[in-house]
Amino acid sequence: MPWTLPLVPAGTPAGELAAGQDGTTIRRSVLPGGVRVLTETMPGQRSATVGAWVGVGSRDETDGHFGSTHFLEHLLFKGTARRSAMDIAEAFDAVGGEANAATGKEHTCYYARVLDSDLPMAVDVITDMVTSARLDPDELETERGVILEELAMNDDDPTDVVHEEFSAAVLAGHALGRPIGGTPATITAVPRDAVWEHYRWHYRPETLVVAAAGGVDHDALCAQVASALTDGGWDLDPAGVPRARRDVADVVGVGLEGVELTVRRTVEQANVIIGGTGLSATDERRFTLSVLSAVLGGGMSSRLFQEIREKRGLAYSTYSFASGHGGVGTFGLYAGCAPSKVDQVTTLLSDELEKLAHGGITDAELERSVGQLSGGLVLGLEDSGSRMSRLGKSELVYGELLSVEESLERIRAVTSHDVQKLAGELASRPRSTVRVGPFGD
C-alpha cells in the first residue's frame, strides 16, 4: 500500500504508519522542538543501527565556513562536556559496535550499529556528541592534521579523483560542486570560530532526524532522545517544527556548459567519466533513470560491460551512475583503461549513450532491468543499516517514504518509451569529459 509520511504535529503520539516489509513496523514521531524520530522495528534482529542525521551538508556552507561540515564531523568524536575522545571510542569498542559518521552534500550522519541491548548506550553517546561537543582548540588543531591526511589519501585514489572532478565540473559555480570534505586550502584556513558558528547555527532540534532500525522500540527511543537532548542543554520548544526543506531555486543555470578536463597523475591507468546533469533527487523520473542506468551500465549484462569489457577487453571496471540532490543531479559513464586506449574508450562510452537515445532499449532489456532493480531492492534491505539509512533519507531527501511494494510498482511502471525519451534528453545536454591519468608526463 503506497503511503507518504504525514507531518504529525509536534508532541503528538505517533501511530503505526505502515507495515514495513517482512513483518517490520515503521513509525514516525515529531518531538517537541521539531525533532523527528523514525524507526523500523525488525522482528528477530539482534542488532540495531541508529543514526543522528543533521540536515546540513557541504552545500550549506557559507563563505568563510568552507570545510566546516566535514571538520565538525571529525570534532564531534573528539570530546563533549562529559566525555573525552577516549570515552567515546571506548564506549563503542567495548561492545564490538561500529560507530562512524558520513558527511554529504546535503546532510551529515552520525551512526552506530550495535547489539540491540547496547542501543540505549549508542543513543546516549551520539546525542551527547550532537548537543555538547567541546571543539577543544588543541584537539581541533591535531584533528586538522588528520583531515589533511584523509584528503591526501583520497587524492591518491585516481577513481576518487575522477568522480570528485566530474561532480565539480558539471556543478561548477554552485555550492554543490564544492568537494564534500573540503580542500587542503579550506581545511588549513578555516578557524575554530567558523566551525563553532556552523555547529551552533545548524545542529538544532529542527534540523535533527533520529532514525533507527532493527531491534528497536519506538516509544522508548523517543523518550530517550527527548530526555537526552534536554540534558544536553537543548530547548525543545513545544511549538517547534522541523526546518522547512531547503530552497533549491538557486540551481537554475547549473550545468549549462560542458567541460573538457584532464588531470595529470603518475599512475598506470586512465580513469575517464563522460556525462552531465542528471535528475534531482525528487524527480519522478528517477525510476526511469534507474532502469536506464541498469541497462546502460548496471551489471555484467549491461551494454557498457558487454561492449567495453566483454567484447573488447579494454577495461576491468566500467559502469554508469547517477547522483541526485535538491534541484539538480549528475549522470555519468565511467571506465578505467590503459592510457593509450582512452580515446577509444571515451568514444565507446559516448556511443552507447547516443545509441540508447536513438535506438531505445529492447523488451528483454526492460524486463531484465526491472527484475534486477526489484531483486536488488529487496536484497538491499536485509540489514538494519540500510533500513536506517532509508528512513533518514526519506525524511531529509525525498520528503516521503515509499513502501517496498510501492517502489516496486513504480519500477514496474517504467516503459521502454520513457527510457528512450529520458536518454534522449540526457544525451542532448551539455557533455563534460574528465580524464585522470598519466597524460602529458
Longest distance between any two alpha carbons in the chain, whole Å: 65
Residue 235 binding a copy of itself, by CB under 8 A: no
The alpha-carbon radius of gyration of the chain (Å, integer) is: 23
Region 287-306 residues binding a copy of itself, contact defined as CB under 8 A: 294, 298-302, 305-306
Q: Does 186 bind a copy of itself (CB under 8 A)?
A: no
**Region 41-100 residues binding a copy of itself, contact defined as CB under 8 A:** 44-47, 77-78, 85-86, 88-90, 92-99
Grid cell at residue 344 = 577509444
Whether residue 284 lies in the annotated active site: no
85 or 402: CB nearest a copy of itself: 85
19 is an interface residue for a copy of itself by CB under 8 A: no
Q: What are phi and psi of 176, to 5 degrees?
A: -65, -20
Residue 343 in contact with a copy of itself, rule: CB under 8 A: no
Residue 204 lies near a copy of itself (rule: CB under 8 A):
no
Query: Please, which residues bridge with residue 263 across strands?
Result: 436
Binding status of residue 116 toward a copy of itself by CB under 8 A: no
CB of 297 to a copy of itself, least distance (A): 12
Q: What would the grid cell of residue 172 be?
A: 561548477
Among the residue ranges 233-241, 277-285, 312-320, 421-429, the one whose residues contact a copy of itself (CB under 8 A): 312-320
Per-residue x/- track, 263-282, a copy of itself (CB under 8 A): --xxxxx-------------
Which one from 40, 61, 73, 143 is the annotated catalytic residue?
Answer: 73
Amino acid 45 reads: Q
Q: How many CA atoms lie within 13 A of 267 on its CB side?
A: 20
| Strand arrangement, sheet containing 25-30 | 16-19, 25-30, 36-41, 208-214, 47-54, 108-115, 98-103
DSSP state, 11? T
CB nearer a copy of itself, residue 337 or residue 414:
337
Binding to a copy of itself in span 379-418, by CB under 8 A: 379, 382-383
Nearer to a copy of itself, 59 or 368 (CB): 368
Asked whether position 259 contacts a copy of itself by CB under 8 A, the answer is no
- 86 or 223: whose CB is closer to a copy of itself? 86
Q: Which is nearer to a copy of itself, 378 or 427 (CB)?
A: 378
Q: Which of 248, 352, 345 is nearest to 293 (CA)?
A: 352
Q: In angstroms, give the least distance from the CB of 139 to a copy of itself.
A: 9
What letter does residue 243 receive in the DSSP assignment?
Answer: P
Which residue lies nearer to a copy of itself by CB, 124 or 250? 124
Return phi, psi of residue 267, to 5°. -135, 175
Task: Report the b/e string of 256-286 with b at 16+ CB within 10 A.
Answer: eeebeeeeebebebbbbbbbbbbbbbbbebb
- Which residues belong to the active site? 73
